Structure 1
Amino acid sequence: MGGAELFHVAAAALIDADGRVLVQQRPPGKPMAGLWEFPGGKIEPGETPEGALIRELAEELGIGVEAACLAPAAFASEPLGEKHLLLLLYVCRKWSGTAEPRHAAALKWVRPVELHRLEMPPADKPLIGLLDALV
């Protein structure tokens, strides 16, 4: 097997009371700018996926999430240039604060079925069907 370095990312499908999921738009100047993605980010050395996600959601959206409210849902495995992306998706239905786009170009609440119409990174696409089944 090839020795591509694994790039671990934790992301959240935040689901509101109406069963809609939050996606954010990647800002200009970033790789894959303009694409819609689940909020989250890189798992730093020494961090758990849940710990990374709690930190990223606070930084990116200004919301507070507890580890107990993060339910592992799905994962994606996707080549990403020289590295290999392993994306861990959690479902979260409870948080404190109101999500705001601190690092994203925009936020959007959509029904899972509507995700198919959005331009999303390759790793996020296989998660849509799984998410649709869960919600």
Structure 2
Amino acid sequence: MSEPIVVVGAALLDGDKLLAARRSAPAELAGRWELPGGKVEPGERPDAALVRELREELGVTAEAVERVPGEWPLREPYVLHVWTARLCPGSAPARPLQDHDALRWLSGGEVWAVPWLDADVPAVREVAQRLRSSPRP
């Protein structure tokens, strides 16, 4: 069995809000919401991959803050690691750039108002504990 390939997801936080991105591709994921991110390249640190992916996907400058405890299986051979992140001063996602057609800042009480990708639900549960007023589904 080969080593898993790490996919980093960004729990991009702004105060008590979490950024969610709606997939537009591939077709089987379209319309569902996820934490933005992507694959860690060979030789790349996961936190650096997170910063790169946010720049490529959302056109923002952000910094990784801390790894959220846990590892969640995706389709073989991928596993999801989630990091909290924050926008650098003066940077704000204006529009999704790749594989997404909408962005939404969700308060703690709104986190479960969108249909998350199944693979992201356990990670979102972990992150939601950090937001105020976020009942667990």
| Offset of residue 33 of structure 1 | 1.6
Question: Which residue number corresponds to residue 32 of structure 2?
Answer: 35
Amino acid at match of 1:78: P
- 2:115 counterpart of 1:115: no
The verdict on how the C-alpha distance between 1:53 and 1:79 changes in structure 2, with shifts beyond 3 A counting, is closer
**What's 1:124 paired with?**
120
Deviations 1:14-72 (A, max 9, x none): 1113x110010111445512210001111111111011111100011111123xx4211
2:72 to 77, 86, 89: 77
> Relative to structure 1, is the Cα distance of residues 88 and 79 closer, same or farther in structure 2, using a 3 angstrom cutoff?
closer
Whole-angstrom CA distance in 1 between matches of 2:104 and 2:37? 15
Stretches of structure 2 lacking an aligned partner (at least 5 in a row): 132-137
State the Cα distance separating 1:132 from its structure 2 match.
Answer: 1.8
Contact 2:60–2:87, Cα closer than 8 Å, also in 1: no
CA contact (8 A) 2:72 2:123 kept: no
5 Å-filtered alignment, 1:62-101, equals 62-66=59-63, 69-80=64-75, 83-96=76-89, 97-99=91-93, 100-101=95-96
Q: How many residues align?
A: 128
Give how far 1:130 is off. Answer: 1.3
Q: TM-score, normalised by structure 1?
A: 0.82
- Cα RMSD after superposing both structures: 2.0
Residues 1:58 and 2:69 aligned together: no
TM-score, normalising length: structure 2: 0.81
- Secondary structure in structure 2 of the residue aligned to 1:75: coil
> What SS does the corresponding residue of 1:120 show, helix, strand or coil?
coil
Cα distance in structure 1, aligned partners of 2:68 and 2:127: 8
